[in-house]
Chains A and B, each alone.
Chain A
Amino acid sequence: RKEVEQDPGPFNVPEGATVAFNCTYSNSASQSFFWYRQDCRKEPKLLMSVYSSGNEDGRFTAQLNRASQYISLLIRDSKLSDSATYLCVVSSIYDKIIFGKGTRLHILP
């Protein structure tokens, strides 16, 4: 099983729709979870951290399910500017930070 696994997509979603991505991780000792976004040929930028209780930031909601070892990202009312690759990132105190390969999202006008 890959350390951090994501559906590569692409997800082609009409503007205004809701879209959700999942990410699974293999290391049960993982402690920190993040979603980053990466635009084409640019650096990753933090979108949000993921907390055990789940958290929301505007149109974005992140959830963590430790029992099943997955995290999710929900984007509501999607906008053209949301088109990017979304990277799931996992780390533990004793391990290096691991990036997923990313899920590509295309928002269609």
Chain B
Amino acid sequence: EPEVTQTPSHQVTQMGQEVILRCVPISNHLYFYWYRQILGQKVEFLVSFYNNEISEKSEIFDDQFSVERPDGSNFTLKIRSTKLEDSAMYFCASSGAPESTDTQYFGPGTRLTVL
């Protein structure tokens, strides 16, 4: 069964450093998403991406965040200057159709720890 993969599974970084989280969505999917989940909190939408551009973003997704699909398979989330409060589980998801009409499949997540 096709699945979304994410690397690394755990990333530890110093405050102020840049991190790049990587995702490989399901190959025939067209819509890509990033979510985060702070420990003990709910899953929060960050951004959706379609046709090589951001289709929607939340208020969390400020100028410190950016997304990119550098090639035909990878989808990345970059945090330019990490803060302590960025520590969370980051999930990538993909779907074959827009979020309102199709199932999103989630990757296993990257646990980001900012020290």
User: What is A's interface to B at a CB cutoff of 8 Å?
Assistant: 31-32, 34, 38, 41-46, 49, 87, 91-93, 96-102
In addition to A43-B91, A46-B104, 14 A-B residue pairs with Cβ atoms within 8 Å of each other are A42-B109, A87-B42, A92-B100, A93-B98, A93-B100, A96-B45, A96-B48, A96-B99, A97-B100, A98-B45, A99-B35, A99-B42, A99-B43, A102-B42
The answer to whether B103 touches A49 (Cβ under 8 A) is yes
User: What is B's interface to A at a CB cutoff of 8 Å?
Assistant: 33, 35, 41-45, 48, 56, 58, 89, 91, 98-101, 103-109
Which 7 A-B pairs rank lowest in CB-CB distance, beginning with the nearest?
A43-B106, A101-B42, A99-B43, A96-B45, A32-B100, A91-B100, A97-B99
Chain B residue, CB-CB nearest to A4: B42
The answer to whether A43 touches B107 (Cβ under 8 A) is yes
> A residues within 8 A CB of B98?
93
The number of A-B residue pairs with CB atoms under 8 Å apart is: 49
**Interchain CB contact (< 8 A) of B104 among A42, A97, A98, A101:** A97
> A residues within 8 A CB of B108?
42-43
